[in-house]
Each structure stands twice: as structure tokens, then as C-alpha cells.
Structure 1
Amino acid sequence: MTEPSHRRGKIVDDKILASTIAVIEETGTLSIKVGRVAELAGVNKTTIYRRFPKREDLVLAALQAQADTSIPIPDSGNLREDLLAIAIAVRSSVVSPLGRALLSASANASPELAELRPAFWSRRFSAAADVVRRAHLRGECGQVDDPELLVELMAAPIHFRATQIGTEITDDFLELQVARALGAIT
């Protein structure tokens, strides 16, 4: 029995995106070669260009897919637990070999690829802010005017420690960032 075409398409997309991440890891740059991605994915370059007309589209899609996998958005029914789960996932991501490669590649990206940062971070913060929105709907907190900023306030120190000062990101540090974020809305 053959697979439906949409399932095959998803399989091909997943191979392309995983291969893109592999090339970023391999090269340490976001300025990837589509030919190398095609080679690793086992597809023709035209298959990639049909799905992602610009290299930047491919890189952004791969980074989004990687972030969705490595930093899932929790829904435990408890705001503090959800924010802590996000903080732990952010830490795991930024200290992993892939996370470090992506951070380095992002810092050294071409101007065209650097323009992707706002779209990437906007999507990530919006998804994480859903945790705050759900907490409000449950009556766990009041209306938060800028839930994305709240998540940013929690995540930024984690990124800063990982990328700038290199100090350990302990569980206590994560708890402190969550407490600070919660303190901003109570």
C-alpha cells in the first residue's frame, strides 16, 4: 500500500529540515549550501527550491522546526510549572552542542539571514506567551498586557549567561528567573 502524497510530502519536508540543521551544525554558519542539504536529504535541489524558494525560507523553517522540537510549549495547568518547564528547555537548548552551533551561526549570519531573527523570535515568544494567556483564562493571573515581554524577561538572562558570560545556568538560577517573571505580573 502506498502512502498518501501529503504524508510523503511531510516525510520529505522533515528530511530536508533535519538535513538543513545538520548542515548548520557541520558548517557552524547559517549561510548553508542548498546542494549539501539536498545531498544529505537524498533529494534534488529542485525539490528544496519548490518548497523553499529562498535559502532564507529554508533556514527559517529549519530553525523553527528545531525550536518547536527542542523547546515545546507546556500546558500543565500551572503557570509557574509551565514557565519553569520553558526555562529548563531553553537552558537545555542553549547549552547543547546544536544550540551552541545555532547561537554561533546566528551571531555570524549574513545580513539576509540576520533579518530572519525577528520572525523567529516573534513566533517563539508568541507560542511561549500562550502559557501566560492560558493562565489568565484559568484565573491564575490577571490580564498581562504583553505576555511575550514577560517570557522574554525570563528567557533573556538564560541566553545571556550561555552566550556572553558563560556562567553555569543552575536550577536555582532558573527558579529565580521564573520568580522574577511571576513577580512582574502579581
Structure 2
Amino acid sequence: MQPSSPARPVGRGAKVRAAVHAAALAELVDKGYAALTVESVAQRAGVHKTTVYRRWKDRESLLTDALAEHMATDVPVPDTGSIETDLRALARSLVQAYTSPTGQAVLAAMFTGLPEAAAARRHVFDDRLVRAEPVVTRAVGRGELPADTDPGEVLKTLAAPIYLRLLVTADPVDESTADRAVHVTLAAARAGACGPAR
């Protein structure tokens, strides 16, 4: 009877994925979007570039995946039992994530104006909305918001003033910005202004 081959270490694929994601974000912070290459990411991650290409077809798909995962980790979806505290946690996490050096590099990458950056941005934001929708659907189920509340509209209303300051006005962004966004969002949602488009 042949001896069985050694088992592949558990989590090896996950560890490689995490290392490549971390390397991609570090390269983004250090070099910016335009100078980032699959080769430089692979070198920083300590893997061969073919390992990267087996999982991601190109630089854009790698960055899109890394950015979506980064946002999912840095802006976790809370479940406090209250829509107000859930939205506050979301908004404050968003502010904290995007005012960090990595967050600033992520924003710069997503808003470079290049077509591939626009596709990555759309994917990252869509992924973020889908992950956070349970915050609103749970609130509707608890009777905290009207039954026809659109989760996506609530989340966009919450994020809009934060992104306005980050990307347009360059006004300071801090916890008070997050808390004001929550106040406005709750007022709009409770008044039925975040229902389905008519």
C-alpha cells in the first residue's frame, strides 16, 4: 500500500491571498496606482508572479479584489440591535478607513479617471452596499424604518456627505461628520424619503 502524500497545509491558499492583498495595498500606498505592477506585488508578497496570475488575470482584477476585501475588513457590518448605532458604527468606520494613509491611497486609486479604475470603483462600491444591506433590512424587520425602505438608498445617503468632504470640498472629516450623516440619514429614512425610486 502506497503511503499517502502529505496533506496540503490548511489555509495555504487563504494565506497567499491575504499576503498578495496586503502587498497590493502596500504597493498602492508606496507607489500609487500608475506604478503598481503584478511583478512588484508578487515580490513584496514573497510569491512568484505566476502564483498571482493563477488567481487574478491582471493588475485590475487583483486590485479590485484587494480593495473590496480591504473595505470589508476595515468597515465591518455591525449588528448592535439598533439602526442608529449600526449606522453610526458604519459611518465612523468609513471615516476612519478613508482618513488613514491606506484609505487615502485607495481613494486616489479608485478615482484616477482611468476606465479600469472606474470598473474597480463600481465593483468595490457595489460589494460594499451588498454586504451592508442587512443593517437596513434588520431595521425594517424591527419596525425602525418604513417597510418600503430601500437599503441601498439609505446606505448611499449615509455615505454621500462623507464622500463629498473627502473627494470634493476637502473639508475636515471626523466622527462628527459621521454622526451628522447618521442624523440626516435617519431623518430621511424615517420620513419615507429612502423608499424605492418612483
What is the TM-score of this pair, normalised by structure 1?
0.91
Equivalent position of 1:119 in the other structure: 123
Checking the alignment, whether the CA contact within 8 Å between 1:91 and 1:169 is kept in structure 2 is yes
Checking the alignment, whether the CA contact within 8 Å between 1:28 and 1:102 is kept in structure 2 is no
Q: Which of 169, 172, 175 is 1:168 aligned to?
A: 172
Checking the alignment, whether the CA contact within 8 Å between 1:30 and 1:113 is kept in structure 2 is no
Q: Where does structure 1 lack aligned partners over 5 or more consecutive residues?
A: none
Shift of 1:140: 2.4
* Structure 1 residue 155 corresponds to structure 2 residue 151: no
* Structure 1 residue 14 corresponds to structure 2 residue 18: yes
Q: Which of 45, 64, 76 is 1:72 aligned to?
A: 76
Shift of 1:4: 4.4
Cα distance per residue 1:117-169 (max 9 Å; x no partner): 21111111122222001111223222244211111111111111122222222
Q: Tell me how far apart the structure 2 counterparts of residues 15 and 51 of structure 1 sit (CA, whole Å).
A: 13
Checking the alignment, whether the CA contact within 8 Å between 2:92 and 2:179 is kept in structure 1 is no
Checking the alignment, whether the CA contact within 8 Å between 1:144 and 1:185 is kept in structure 2 is no
Checking the alignment, whether the CA contact within 8 Å between 1:30 and 1:59 is kept in structure 2 is no
Checking the alignment, whether the CA contact within 8 Å between 1:31 and 1:109 is kept in structure 2 is no
Q: Tell me how far apart the structure 2 counterparts of residues 48 and 70 of structure 1 sit (CA, whole Å).
A: 23
User: Quick check: 99-108 or 56-65, which moved more?
Assistant: 99-108
1:20-39 residue pairs with structure 2 within 5 A?
Answer: 20-29=24-33, 32-39=36-43
User: Quick check: 140-149 or 175-184, which moved more?
Assistant: 140-149
Checking the alignment, whether the CA contact within 8 Å between 1:64 and 1:120 is kept in structure 2 is yes
Checking the alignment, whether the CA contact within 8 Å between 1:30 and 1:109 is kept in structure 2 is no
Q: Where does structure 2 lack aligned partners over 5 or more consecutive residues?
A: 1-5, 191-198
Q: Secondary structure at the match of 1:185?
A: helix
* Larger Rg computed on CA atoms: 2
CA 1:113/1:173 → structure 2, altered by over 3 Å: closer, same or farther? Answer: closer
Q: CA RMSD in A?
A: 1.8
What is the TM-score of this pair, normalised by structure 2?
0.86
1:42-121 residue pairs with structure 2 within 5 A?
Answer: 42-121=46-125
Shift of 1:106: 1.8
CA 1:133/1:29 → structure 2, altered by over 3 Å: closer, same or farther? Answer: same
User: Quick check: 30-39 or 62-71, which moved more?
Assistant: 30-39
AA partner of residue 150 (structure 1): V
Q: Secondary structure at the match of 1:56?
A: helix
Equivalent position of 1:137 in the other structure: 141
Identity of aligned residues (%): 33
Q: What is the total number of aligned residue pairs between the two structures?
A: 185
Checking the alignment, whether the CA contact within 8 Å between 1:30 and 1:106 is kept in structure 2 is no
Q: Tell me how far apart the structure 1 counterparts of residues 177 and 22 of structure 2 sit (CA, whole Å).
A: 32
